[in-house]
């Protein structure tokens, strides 16, 4: 019997709980996963999204002002990041790419730490164990295997934590991501594959990576998957909670495709006008995740001026602290270049460090007498 790839409308349908106009949509399966989300909780999600959008804008500004070397904006992906990350427990562990600053915010990252990598002051901004989130990953897809291995460790420990890995639509083409699904399915590891399909991998449209919806990939590996409106924070929360529950109760991995849009450039070094149509951006602007939740809150009277103002104040405060932390970051010392390559002493490196320190010292004082040196 030939298995074909003709569209199965039901399969490809997006889970949506808030329509683009802000209307609450009911869903037979997923409503129950957000039944506890009351007005206050919705306001909190709103606050999160506004704050991280402000972080994104502030970081972009810092880059333009020369305070950051680079910044990968997540503008437009706030619902996918907040909805999923707010579903997590503290003891869950996140393995993300480079674009999940919104997720890092939810994990409680220090704002200065969030800037370190992008200012060029670190290769990893934070202590992964302090916030249970691995550092940014630049090698596309590599982190999905780490998450899977971590989840195998959870199984081993008999714990009910979950590993969650974030990656993009482009990443699904990498061998590593597919191998991660093989391992996750084989061991039934408690890992969630959270794919933010933001339609683009730098200049390449998602159609170059896949002719069928990405969510269809995982079932072929034996992993259930779900396609969710990635601009709907409630829907993202719901599907992530369901997946977490499955993982915690021995049900193994889940694949989530959050269909969203990268409204900005790939990074501040990119110029999207070279490859994409302005119209496309407009279409997606109409589905803006923040405006959408604001619509729902408004309709339910949950967005009075004092709430708006307070959210605004939070965002201002975060932005100010972010900027301050960024520009007052201490400069690293030359010797730092040699630190932590190994956890144990290494004769090759010690020799090089020793030579380099003498070399640096030679700029400060006249070269010392060679006989004295020789006696060392």
Partner 1 sequence: MATMTFGRAINAGLRRAMENDPKVVLMGEDIGKLGGVFRVTDGLQKDFGPHRVVDTPLAESGIMGTAVGMAYRGYRPVVEIQFDGFIYPAFDQIVCQVAKLHYRTQGNVKMPITIRVPFGGGIGSPEHHSESPEAYFTHTSGLRVVSVSNPQDAYVMIQQAIASNDPILYFEPKRRYHLKGEVDESVDITATGMGAARVVTEGSDVTLVTYGPLVPTARDAAVAASDDGVSVEVIDLRSLAPIDFATVEKSVRKTGRLVITHEAAQSGGLGAEIAASITERCFYYLEHAPVRVTGFDIPYPYSKLEFHHLPDLDRILDGVDRALGRPNSLSGLEG
Please report whether residue 328 would count as binding partner 1 according to CB under 8 A.
no
Active site residue 27: no
Six-digit token string for 359: 């070399």
Among Mg ion, a second copy, partner 1, none, residue 212 binds (CB under 5-8 Å by kind): a second copy
Eight-state DSSP code of residue 199: S
C-alpha distances (whole Å) from 23 to each of 18, 240, 308, 364 are: 5, 21, 19, 69
Please report whether residue 152 would count as binding partner 1 according to CB under 8 A.
yes
Contact set for ligand TPP, span 139-168 (CB under 6 A): 139-140, 167-168
Active site residue 262: yes
Six-digit token string for 302: 């949950």
User: Which has the closest alpha carbon to 140: 189, 109, 180, 103?
Assistant: 180
Find out whether 72 and 99 touch, Cβ atoms under 8 Å. Answer: yes
Q: How far is the CB of 269 from Mg ion (least distance, A)?
A: 16
Q: How far apart are CA 139 and CA 96, in angstroms?
A: 11
- Closest to Mg ion by CB, 121 or 137: 137
Six-digit token string for 64: 């333009």
Check 266, 276, 292, 356 and give the catalytic one.
266
Q: How far apart are CA 56 and CA 123, in angstroms?
A: 20
Contact set for Mg ion, span 178-207 (CB under 5 A): 198, 201
- Closest to ligand TPP by CB, 216 or 266: 266
Contact set for partner 1, span 200-239 (CB under 8 A): 201-204, 208-209
- Selected binder of ligand TPP within 200, 221, 255, 261 (CB under 6 A): 200
Please report whether residue 201 would count as binding ligand TPP according to CB under 6 A.
yes
Please report whether residue 124 would count as binding ligand TPP according to CB under 6 A.
no
Contact set for partner 1, span 110-129 (CB under 8 A): 117-124, 127-129
Active site residue 46: no
- Closest to a second copy by CB, 140 or 311: 140
DSSP 58-112: HHHHHHHTTSSS-----TT-HHHHHHHHTT--TTSEEE--SS-HHHHHHHT--HH
C-alpha distances (whole Å) from 56 to each of 60, 61, 88, 162 are: 6, 9, 22, 27
Do the bridges between strand 200-201 and strand 204-205 make them parallel or antiparallel, or are there none, so unpaired? Answer: antiparallel
Six-digit token string for 214: 């990405």
- Footprint of a second copy on this chain (CB under 8 A)? 1-5, 10-13, 15, 29, 172-176, 178-179, 182, 185-186, 208-212, 215-227
- Closest to a second copy by CB, 211 or 376: 211
Please report whether residue 360 would count as binding ligand TPP according to CB under 6 A.
no
Q: Which residues participate in catalysis according to the annotation?
A: 262, 266, 275
Binding site for ligand TPP (CB under 6 A): 99, 138-140, 167-171, 198, 200-202, 262, 266
């Amino acid at each position: 019997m030939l298995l074909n790839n003709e569209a199965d409308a039901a399969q490809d349908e997006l889970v949506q709980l808030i329509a683009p106009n802000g209307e609450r949509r009911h869903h037979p399966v997923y409503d129950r996963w957000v039944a506890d989300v009351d007005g206050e909780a919705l306001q909190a999600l709103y606050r999160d999204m506004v704050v991280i959008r402000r972080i994104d804008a502030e970081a972009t500004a810092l880059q333009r002002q020369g305070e950051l070397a680079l910044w990968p904006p997540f503008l437009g992906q706030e619902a996918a990041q907040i909805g999923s990350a707010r579903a997590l427990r503290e003891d869950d562990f996140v393995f993300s790419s480079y674009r999940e600053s919104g997720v890092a915010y939810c994990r409680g990252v220090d704002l200065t730490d969030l800037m370190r990598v992008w200012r060029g002051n670190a290769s990893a901004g934070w202590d992964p164990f302090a916030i249970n989130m691995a550092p940014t990953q630049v090698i596309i897809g590599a982190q999905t295997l780490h998450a899977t291995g971590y989840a195998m460790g959870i199984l081993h420990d008999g714990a009910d934590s979950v590993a969650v890995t974030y990656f993009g639509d482009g990443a699904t083409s990498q061998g590593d991501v597919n191998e991660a699904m093989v391992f996750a399915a084989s061991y039934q590891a408690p890992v969630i594959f959270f794919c933010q399909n933001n339609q683009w991998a730098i200049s390449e449209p998602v159609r170059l990576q896949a002719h069928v919806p990405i969510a269809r990939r995982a079932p072929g590996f034996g992993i259930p998957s779900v396609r969710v409106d990635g601009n709907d924070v409630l829907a993202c929360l719901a599907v992530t909670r369901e997946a977490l529950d499955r993982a915690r109760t021995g049900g193994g991995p889940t694949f989530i495709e959050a269909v969203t849009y990268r409204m900005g450039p790939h990074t501040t070094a990119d110029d999207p006008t070279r490859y994409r149509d302005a119209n496309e951006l407009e279409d997606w602007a109409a589905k803006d995740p923040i405006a959408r939740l604001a619509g729902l809150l408004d309709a339910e009277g949950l967005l009075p001026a004092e709430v708006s103002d307070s959210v605004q104040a939070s965002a201002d405060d975060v932005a100010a602290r972010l900027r301050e932390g960024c520009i007052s970051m201490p400069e690293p010392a030359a010797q730092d270049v040699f630190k932590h390559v190994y956890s144990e002493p290494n004769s090759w490196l010690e020799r090089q460090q020793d030579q380099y320190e003498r070399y640096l010292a030679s700029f400060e004082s006249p070269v010392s007498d060679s006989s004295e040196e020789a006696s060392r």
